[in-house]
Amino acid sequence: MRIAIYGTGGVGGYYGARLAAAGEDVHFIARGAHLEAIRAGGLRVRSKNGDLHINPAQVTDDPATIGPVDVVMVAVKLYDTEGAAEGCKALIGPETVVISFQNGVTAVETFAAAVGAGHVAGGATYIMSEVAEPGVIAHMGTNAKLIFGELDGRGSKRLADFHAACGKARIDAVLSNRIMTDIWSKFSFLAAHSGMTALTRKPIGAIRSDPDTRAMFQAAVEEVCAVAKAKGVSLQDNQTERNMKQADSLPEQMGSSQLYDLTHGKRLELPWLAGAVVRLGRELGVPTPTHAAIYAGLKLHADGAGG
């Protein structure tokens, strides 16, 4: 398959390298020092699942030089979504499908508005990875899972073909017939985890061990579940309980990407995480006081140290 990786960071770089190593025609979109390092020496992945070195790697900062592809895997930060949606227009052919593997719940609408709903599917991923240095992706642990599906739940050849390509690349991939449920299920935990770790400047172990912050974490989960229900997305009846068990199972020192960005003076995805919960809650008439507090507590840091 001809595949474009829009955002060659920890997520896109890892999965794109796996697909390229398996023989797929993968084109990476990157920028800055990372782009130049990949051009000069290829893309490296360090992982317990097996190291990779894709050299040469097909990499550019201009999607127009790639042309139409079969699949676009979007893995940019949420604040780059609109730019990526615009850039995707150059990658669209008659059967192209754009799949966002970003953290939030609003990207589908953004891409549908840019390239047409018929070219968009939903996606989610579970992985801990980062750009360790320009040209190098570091994958922590062994978990690396993709979930994707058509928005209406139907089967399709284009996603069946992509699923087969993932299987060939030994990527743990699930072809879902309820992708919006999968996206919101992940978001119900992620919004609480990213918000609480950043707000408290503490990892999950400290948050779950203190009765007050634990209660606030649970309230944040419950608010997302309520918003999902109001939007007509069916989550499991015990979603909150499942999320609290997940919180209890994580390594004590585990933070979040938003905590990392905050402590390193980087721009935050806050408006598309807690901010999105507050906005959607307001639109749907669902109270979201916990996420409103998280948003207000972090808002002045949202633009990073240079903001």
Residues 126-181 have pLDDT tens digits of: 999 999 999 999 999 899 999 999 999 999 999 999 999 999 999 999 999 999 99
Look at residues 9, 159, 164, 169 and name the one whose alpha carbon lies nearest to residue 76. 9
pLDDT in tens, 243-260: 999 999 999 999 999 999
What pTM, to 2 d.p., does this model score?
A: 0.94
> Does residue 303 come out as left (phi exceeding 0), alpha (psi in the -120 to 50 range) or beta?
alpha
The mean per-residue pLDDT over the stretch 90-101 comes to: 97
Q: Which of 35, 113, 34, 123 is nearest to 72 (CA)?
A: 123
Ranges assigned E (strand) in 18-80: 25-29, 43-46, 52-54, 58-60, 71-74
DSSP symbol at 103: S
Q: pLDDT tens digits for 2-60? A: 999 999 999 999 999 999 999 999 999 999 999 999 999 999 999 999 999 999 999 99
Distance CA 210, CA 33 (A): 41
Q: How confident is the model at residue 302 (pLDDT cuts 50, 70, 90)?
A: very high
CA-CA distance, 93 to 273, in Å (whole number)? 31
Contacts with 181 (C-beta within 8 Å, 6 or more apart), sequence order: 233, 234, 235
With beta carbons less than 8 A apart as the criterion, state whether 272 and 100 touch.
no
- Say if residue 115's pLDDT is above 80: yes
pLDDT confidence of residue 305 = 84
Q: In angstroms, rounded to a whole number, what is the distance separating the alpha carbons of residues 97 and 154?
A: 14
> What is the dotted CATH code of the domain comprising 2-177?
3.40.50.720
Tens of pLDDT, residue by residue over 269-297, are: 999 999 999 999 999 999 999 999 999 99
Asked if pLDDT for residue 307 goes beyond 90, the answer is no
CATH of 181-301, one of 1.10.1040.10, 3.50.30.30, 1.10.10.10, 3.30.9.90: 1.10.1040.10
58-60/25-29 β-pairing:
parallel
User: If we measure between CA atoms, which residue out of 281, 263, 98 comes closest to residue 191?
Assistant: 281
Domains 2-177 and 181-301 share a fold: no
| H or E element, residue 173 | strand 172-175
- 306 pLDDT band, cuts 50/70/90, is low
Task: Report which secondary-structure segment, H or E, holds 70.
Answer: none
Query: Domain locations in the chain?
Result: 2-177, 181-301
Residue range 221-251, pLDDT digits in tens: 999 999 999 999 999 999 999 999 999 999 9
H/E run at residue 143: strand 136-150
Instruction: Give me the pLDDT at residue 22, please.
Output: 98
Question: 140 is written with which tokens?
Answer: 């922590």
